[in-house]
Amino acid sequence: MPPSETSRQSRRPSKVAPLLVLIVGSGCIVFIASNAAAGLQLDYLLVVSAAVFTVVGSLILYRTEGNRVGWVMAAIGLSLFIGGVAANLADQGHLIADAVGGAVWLSWFVLLGLLVYWFPTGRPVSPSWRFLGWLAAPLVVITASYLVAEELCVGSGPDGRCEVWVDNPIGIEGVPNPEFGDLSTVGYLSLVVFVLLSAASLVLRFIRARGVERLQLKWFAFAVVSLIAATLAQETLADILPIPLLVWDVLWGLAIVALPVAIGLSVLRYRLYEIDRIVSRTVTYVLVVGLLGTVFFGLVTMFTSVLPAESDLAVAASTLAVAALFNPVRRRVQLGIDRRFNRARHDAQRVMDSFSASLRDRVDPEDLSDGWRDVVADTMQPEMIGVWVRPSQVPG
């Protein structure tokens, strides 16, 4: 077969991408309709997360030559959806759904490890790390054994041990339940080791990465850190700050959805160079809000100790003070953050400011062109620089 024909076939869009989108779209419609008919409470965050993961995975498969990250993303989305449906059916007493839900719950650990292991290229960080891919195979067998376990646990005691066992309708005689017993210790330990080794391979990849791949890893790290920060904030600050619970749920949901979106942007290489700016702005506004929030509550406390308790002047004065401090504090914090997270922009701004300050002393056009070329070379680092100066028109 000629090479040109082979390359055309390799670039042909995969038919599995629209198929996966169709599956998750139809499944979400059925899930919502069935829950609405049964009068159950809908977990819309799970449905949206499943749809986003599956759609992003499908896009990766569609736009790349079968990147394994796309397969894992689509599998995570489908497993989220199947797990949600199985949980609802298990609450209604369907034992088969209980078995399916348990298997899906264990499979998330394997999929998470594979996502970290293959991100962003779809290949291991080096040939010496291929053993980690082979380790996933027995883990898949362990998770699948939950589906066909002889017995299912439907009630656990305070010590975590199962107290109520029932026969699995689709179980195979002699297959133990991997959630309890000796097999559970080996299985859970293997899952933990697999995820930790996958994380270690990602750290090693980041250390070795340069250029585009390093930016891809920054997108992934930013999304993971945002999700962890949102989770910790919801757990620790929800009972302290007077913020409605719905706001915390929305922020946490956005952080979850941001993870597949960031992975899709990084793998498809869309606006990779915006990550430094996004990180610097995010850190800046988080610090500014934290600092001004502390100042606001401090001023309110101080004013209320002086003014009458029923006076609204304390809140008004504190609000005006915080509004006046916002821009100065933001500029100072932004400058410090850019020095750390957005160094290229900080250096470019410094060079431009220096060049602008020197313009008052440059009267020779040739000297001005040389200075302009130096600024462009320092800030943009192009391969070639050319200056065209229009010849002066002397009347005469």
Q: For 39-56, what is each residue's pLDDT tens digit? A: 555 577 777 888 889 889
Task: Point out the domain boundary residue: 326, 344, 362.
Answer: 344
Largest CA distance in the chain: 106
pLDDT band of 3, cuts 50, 70, 90: very low
Residue at 64 is within a domain: no
Q: Are residues 218 and 260 in the same domain?
A: yes
Give the pLDDT confidence score for residue 114 in this predicted structure: 92
Answer yes or no: is pLDDT of 104 > 70: yes
Q: Are residues 289 and 262 in the same domain?
A: no
Residue at 190 is within a domain: no
Answer yes or no: is pLDDT of 227 > 80: yes
For 288-306, how does the pLDDT look when each residue is reduced to its tens digit (9 = 90+)?
A: 887 887 888 787 777 777 7
Q: Are residues 334 and 295 in the same domain?
A: yes
CA distance 179 to 109: 14
For 347-366, how does the pLDDT look when each residue is reduced to its tens digit (9 = 90+)?
A: 556 656 665 666 666 556 66
Structure tokens at 50: 């499943």
Residue at 326 is within a domain: yes
Place of tokens 């599998």: 75
pLDDT band of 232, cuts 50, 70, 90: confident
Question: What phi and psi, each to the nearest 5 degrees, are found at residue 149?
Answer: -60, 145
For 237-285, how does the pLDDT look when each residue is reduced to its tens digit (9 = 90+)?
A: 777 766 777 777 788 888 888 899 999 989 988 877 777 777 777 778 7
CA distance 226 to 232: 10
pLDDT above 70 covers a percentage of the chain that reads 68
pLDDT band of 344, cuts 50, 70, 90: low
Mean pLDDT for all residues in the chain: 75
Residue at 139 is within a domain: no
Q: Are residues 263 and 313 in the same domain?
A: no
For 4-30, how does the pLDDT look when each residue is reduced to its tens digit (9 = 90+)?
A: 444 444 444 556 666 767 677 676 667
Residue at 108 is within a domain: no
The boundaries of the domain holding residue 226 are: 209-270
The residue with greater pLDDT, 386 or 219, is: 219
Residue at 182 is within a domain: no
For 106-130, how does the pLDDT look when each residue is reduced to its tens digit (9 = 90+)?
A: 788 889 899 999 999 888 988 889 8
68 closest CA partner among 220, 267, 266, 225? 267
Q: Are residues 265 and 293 in the same domain?
A: no
Residue at 246 is within a domain: yes
Q: Are residues 213 and 266 in the same domain?
A: yes
CA distance 149 to 212: 46
The structure's pTM equals: 0.70
Give the pLDDT confidence score for residue 6 in this predicted structure: 41
Number of domains observed in the structure of the chain: 2
Non-local (6+) Cβ contacts of 248 within 8 A are 233, 234, 238
pLDDT band of 202, cuts 50, 70, 90: very high
Residue at 265 is within a domain: yes
Give the pLDDT confidence score for residue 361 in this predicted structure: 62
Task: Point out the domain boundary residue: 298, 327, 344.
Answer: 344
